[in-house]
Amino acid sequence: MGIVTKNSILLVDYTLKMIKNGHDVKSALIRASKTRLRPILMTTGATIMGMIPVVISTAEGSEMKQSMGWAVMGGLVFSTLVTLFIVPVIFSLLDRFSAKRNIERENEISAL
């Protein structure tokens, strides 16, 4: 959970830095995604590789640990996909909604 949260926060933070540097939202998201892809995959891959000994263990009582290892590995893969694909989409939708709302407020203020 912490790895996925960290990855999402770093992706959004880098996107916000790009926007502050003058990029539009779409190009900032693309550039942030390209820049953060390798560290995200490396962190997730290292954690998944660390789970492999737990999953393939044949020691006595390892059955419970194996199922936990599979669950952790599956959760990391799914969460990484969410971080790489869903987080940028939600960010752009929220930005679009925010911009639309700001325009409506400005129109209300100018009508007064």
Tell me: the pLDDT tens digits for 37-68?
999 999 999 999 999 999 999 888 888 889 99
Structure tokens at 35: 């820049």
CA 85, distance to chain mean position in Å, is 8
| Ranges of residues in the chain whose predicted pLDDT is under 70 | 1, 112
Q: Taking a C-beta distance cutoff of 8 angstroms, is the pair 30, 42 a contact?
A: no
* Of the candidates 106, 43, 53, the residue with the CA atom closest to the CA atom of residue 77: 43
Identify the pLDDT of residue 81.
92
The span from the CA of 101 to the CA of 75, in Å, is 35
Residue 112: per-residue pLDDT: 66
* Whether 40 contacts 13, CB under 8 Å: no
- Please report the domains of the chain, with CATH numbers, ordered by start residue: 2-111 (1.20.1640.10)
Q: What is this structure's pTM?
A: 0.76
In terms of phi and psi (left: phi > 0; alpha: psi -120 to 50; beta: otherwise), the region of 22 is: left
Tokens of 46: 């290292």
Given this model, what pLDDT does residue 101 score?
A: 77
